[in-house]
Each structure stands twice: as C-alpha cells, then as structure tokens.
Structure 1
Amino acid sequence: MKYIKYKKVTGMGGIVALGWLIFTTAVAVSQRKLIFKPVRSREVEHPHSIGHRSRLIALRSIDGTRLSGWLLTPRVPGPHPAVVYFGGRSEEVSWVARDAWRMFPNMTVLAINYRGYGDSEGVPGEQKMIEDAQMLFDWFAEHRHILAGQIAVVGRSLGSGVAVQIAVSRPVAAVVLITPYDSVLALAKRRFPSIPGFVLKHRFDSVKHAPSLSAPAFIIRAATDDVVPASHTDLLVAKLTTTPQDETIPGSDHYNIPYLEATQQRIAEFLTAKFKKAPESAD
C-alpha cells in the first residue's frame, strides 16, 4: 500500500516537473514576442512639428542594419541642445515628430524606431538595441547643429531601460524616464513567479546600472499603472546615487502618459532648466 502511494506521489512529481519544463521552454522560445511588440504602421501618417524642421532619416547600425526615424531641428538658427528619444514596447515613434514642439521646444530631436519597428530593419533584442542606441548618441554628438555636452536621453517604459544604459555609458546632460522599472526580469517574475532567471535573455536590468547614473534624472510616473507597478519604480529610484526629480502625472495611465499635455510640459520644463545650467556647470 505504501509502495502504491509512493508511486502516485513520484508520478505526480514527475508530471509537475514535466509541466514546469514545458512552461519554461515555452517562455524561453517565445520571450522575444512577450517582451517586444513591434509596430510597423506609423502612428502619425504625416508627422510634422510646427516648431521644427522635420526630416525623415535612415542610419546604418554597426552591423549594417537600416534604422529609420526622424531628425527634428528647431526653426530658429542653432546650435541647440538635443534629445534622443527611446520608445516603449509597442511604440512607433512618428508621434514624437508631431508633439516635439511642446515636449522639446528649441531642442534638436532624434527619434529612431527600434529594429523591426516602423521602417527599421532587423529583429529587436536588448544587446542590439543598446548598441544601436550608443551609435545614435555618438552620431548625434557629432552633428554640427548640436551644442557640445548638451544631449539628453528620454526613455518611455521599455525604452527607459535603454535610456539608463546609455546614460551610464555616454556623457548625457540629463535623463528622463517615463514609467521606468527596476528590470524586465523582475516584472516577468512578478507575473510568472516560477520562471528561472537564466531563461530570460532580454533583461533590461536598469536597477543594476542605476548606481552608476550621475546625470540629473526626472522620473515620471503614471497615476494608474497596471504594467509597471509603483514598487518596481521605487526599487529603481532607491538605487540611484543622486536624488531624482520624481513626479506623478494626474489622470495618466501607462498608455496615455506620453501624449498628455501635462507630461509634455513637465518634460520641456525639466530639460530646458537643465540645459540652461549646463554651461555654468562646465566652467
């Protein structure tokens, strides 16, 4: 009788283990689809900023992949401070060109779609996205219309993980993080607690890089966020060695927050103030 019970227990254990193995394997195989949601169609068909000259550009990554997006130059003669924008998981960035006049006034803006998004070639992945972002920053820094040492990075949701890594590897003047998280791994384990950490390849481990972030930072939270809970933003903020500006936008959620006038005005105010201080701090 005891032997029969033992066989039942071990049999159930084997089934559970097999189920866990199948689940883990499925996550490992499909993780790219879980983390990235490429959007090909333009959010704004004919993006145009009333305060900028809007130019559709294509740049080549280090491995030759074609990346497409927009270069927005203020109509007032420069040079100007500048911003590189990194979008979210399911975001095509043409809307940035439309709203740049309010969000980035008198700033030159580079908004390029990730690999596989918009008209950009390739397949998205953390390592290549970081390499591409570094290439974009370096290309931008050499642009003749950019004020030396005055390039900020702005990252929304998934893009906050890109912005953090650029901010610790390049001399950024400021960093704006919209609905940022501690790591994609932590968010994944919150939803699927049984996932072993080694399975996830694209971790965007911002909390690991946070202690090295020295640039002035602006954390922008949504009033209601069911994608990045406040506790995950708190964990990131706690690791920063400098106290960031930290605000919650009333009436916002994870999806509408970048489009709200209040969000765009707060970003404009923060960056304008930091850029004005940049020449004094450089002396």
Structure 2
Amino acid sequence: MVSYMSVLLFGLGGIVVAGVALLVAFQEKLVYVPVLPGLTKSYPITPARLRLLYEDVWLRSSDGVRLHGWFIQLFPDGRGPTILFFQENAGNIAHRLEMIHVMLQRLQCNVFMLSYRGYGESEGFPSQDGITKDAQAALDHLVQRTDIDTSRIVVFGRSLGGAVGAVLTKNNPDKVAAIILENTFTSILDMAGVLLPFLKLFIRKSGTKGPGALNFLVRSPWNTIDVIGEIKQPILFLSGLQDEMVPPSHMQMLYAKAAARNPQCSFVEFPNGMHMDTWLSGGDRYWSTILEFLEKVVP
C-alpha cells in the first residue's frame, strides 16, 4: 500500500512538474495571441471600410523591428487630443475598429493604433521587452509630428494594453499627459493563478513576500501593480464588474496603489461590463466619463 501511494504521488508530482515546464517553455504563446483561432494574421478590414481617413504608419523600434500602425486624424489642423491606443493580447488592431469608430465620434479626438511586434503587419515576435520598445517608438512618432498638439497625448490601454500603457506613461512623464486603464490586471503571474489555480502553489502574489518558483521564470511578468504607483500623471480606471477574464479586484488593487501616491486618480465601475464589452454595456455613461476626464486633463 505504501509503495502504491509512493508511486501515485511521484506520478502526480511528475505530471505537475511537466505541466509547469511546458507552461514556462511556451509562456509567450499563452500571453500573446496575435492570431485568433480560425482567422489569419492579416487585417480583416481597414479604417477605410468605416469611411475613416487614415495614414499607414511604419516605424522602427529601438532594436530595429519594423512596426505598423494606423493614425486616424479627425482634426488635420492640429486641434483636439490624440489618444495612443494599446489593445488586448488577442487578435489585431482591426478587431478594435468598431470601438475606435465610436471613440472618434464620441470623444472628438485623433487616434493612433499600434500593432505590437508579431501582430498584424508588424514584424518580429512579441515579448515584454520588445513591446515596451514598440510602445516607445509609437509615442516618439507622435511627439515628432507637427500636425497634432503634442501636449495633449493621452494613453488608453485595455487589459494587456493597460500594462503596456502604464510602463510607457511612467517612463515618459513629459510626453504623456494622462492615461486611461480599462480592465487591466495586476500582473501576469496573478492572472496565471486565476486561470490555472494549481499554479498558485508556485507563485508569489503581487505585493507579498516569500518564495515563488515561477516568479523567477516568467519572461513577461507585466507587473502593473509595481508600475502604477510610480505614475505621476492623471489616471482614469474603468472597471467592468462582470469581467470574466480579469477579476475586478485587480483594478481595485491598482487604483488603491496609485491613489495612495497620486491624487489625480479616478475610479469608475460599470455594473454590466465584461472584459471586452464594457464600452458597449457602459453606454453613454462610459463615454461621458472619459470625455469628462479628457476635458479636465487636456482641456
């Protein structure tokens, strides 16, 4: 009986170790999903389909990767704020065009949409270090433009895009006027524990001390909880309380960390908002909340 139990325990232990090893080896494929199942990497539509005037922008990141983006300019004479939009982890910028179309109408702004490396028509392979460089390249491009008001650049990030935007905003206090975060996680490790509960045995949660084997092995940790407290610009947190992917408690933790050091923080909840549709379910209140924020920070 003892021998049987030993074999069983060793077998279960081996399965767990093998599972963790596979997760570590293929972690980028789990975090970054440039191609949705059943679709291709290319853009299914462009802004032209929605009768939007736009510019194809080609950039080089600091490590030489060729990047693609769309600049949709509502005000060619330089008026209005410009939103630098960072998408979620799955699909490409074309899948966000419906929301961006409404954003242009409701907020009266210009919008720059960046394809992370490995996404859409951008070259390379996604990683935290690489995407951080990509975001900086997009911001540097906007700052160098002469047809926008560069003092009114606002970062908008949803989910993974919020983590990307937070790092960019922290690193560029003189270039980014404000940031909007929607349904963003505290860290990738915290999310791993949510999606795969058995991994909690190997993870040290954000803000706590102690051992955590996976904490040292994850290549894209995106520790937003550590970054958010260092942002000095105004921050608007938009949280969908029905979020089925990122627990709303993550947004509450991010707000608490930020507000403890930054008095220019606002937190707004949307009772029916899910991970991807808060902008839809939030209705007029969603857009009026953002518009009020913009009128305050980039009047």
**Aligned to 2:262, which of 242, 246, 261?**
242
> Is residue 2:102 matched to residue 1:99?
yes
SS across alignment from 2:82? strand
SS across alignment from 1:128? helix
Q: Distance in 2 between matches of 1:272 and 1:72?
A: 20
Q: Distance in 1 between matches of 2:30 and 2:126?
A: 12
CA shift, 1:37, in A, is 1.1
Q: Distance in 2 between matches of 1:143 and 1:256?
A: 32
Instruction: Give the alignment of 1:58-73 within 5 angstroms.
Output: 58-73=58-73
**Deviations 1:230-258 (CA, angstroms, capped at 9, x unpaired):** 11112211211225211123432112124
Match of 2:209 in 1: none
Match of 1:27 in 2: 23
Q: Distance in 2 between matches of 1:185 and 1:67?
A: 28
Match of 2:187 in 1: 183
Which stretch shifts more, 249-258 or 8-17?
8-17
Unaligned runs of 5+ in 1: 277-283
Q: Distance in 2 between matches of 1:143 and 1:205?
A: 31
**Aligned to 2:275, which of 243, 254, 264?**
254
The 8 Å contact of residues 47 and 98 in structure 1, kept in 2 or not, is answered as no
**Aligned to 1:194, which of 182, 201, 222?**
201
CA 1:176–1:46 in structure 2 vs 1: closer, same or farther (change >3 Å)?
closer
The 8 Å contact of residues 76 and 147 in structure 2, kept in 1 or not, is answered as no
> Is residue 2:297 matched to residue 1:274?
yes
**Deviations 1:121-174 (CA, angstroms, capped at 9, x unpaired):** 221111100111112112211211232432111101110000110111002211
**Deviations 1:214-273 (CA, angstroms, capped at 9, x unpaired):** 111110111311101111112211211225211123432112124565334432332233
- Give me the TM-score of the superposition, normalised by structure 2: 0.82
> Is residue 2:62 matched to residue 1:42?
no
Q: Distance in 2 between matches of 1:223 and 1:117?
A: 29
**Deviations 1:31-79 (CA, angstroms, capped at 9, x unpaired):** 11211111324354444677x7421222122222221121122335225
> Aligned Cα RMSD in Å?
2.3
Match of 1:159 in 2: 161
Q: Distance in 1 between matches of 2:106 and 2:131?
A: 24
The 8 Å contact of residues 79 and 144 in structure 1, kept in 2 or not, is answered as no
The 8 Å contact of residues 162 and 181 in structure 2, kept in 1 or not, is answered as yes
Match of 1:75 in 2: 75
CA 1:118–1:164 in structure 2 vs 1: closer, same or farther (change >3 Å)?
same
Q: Distance in 2 between matches of 1:75 and 1:159?
A: 25
Q: Distance in 1 between matches of 2:194 and 2:157?
A: 22
**Deviations 1:7-35 (CA, angstroms, capped at 9, x unpaired):** 44443332233122101111012211211
CA 1:103–1:203 in structure 2 vs 1: closer, same or farther (change >3 Å)?
farther
Instruction: Give the alignment of 1:115-264 within 5 angstroms.
Output: 115-171=117-173, 172-192=176-196, 193-195=200-202, 196-240=214-258, 241-243=261-263, 244-259=265-280, 261-262=283-284, 263-264=286-287
Letter of the 1:257 partner, please give it: T
SS across alignment from 2:73? strand
Letter of the 1:186 partner, please give it: D
- Taking only the aligned residue pairs, the percentage that are identical comes to 24
Q: Distance in 2 between matches of 1:150 and 1:46?
A: 23
Q: Which has the larger radius of gyration?
A: 1
Q: Distance in 2 between matches of 1:59 and 1:97?
A: 21
Unaligned runs of 5+ in 2: 36-40, 203-213
- The structure where strand makes up a greater share of residues is 1
- Give me the TM-score of the superposition, normalised by structure 1: 0.86
Aligned length: 270
CA 1:259–1:63 in structure 2 vs 1: closer, same or farther (change >3 Å)?
farther
Q: Distance in 1 between matches of 2:163 and 2:92?
A: 17
Letter of the 1:142 partner, please give it: Q
Match of 2:14 in 1: 18
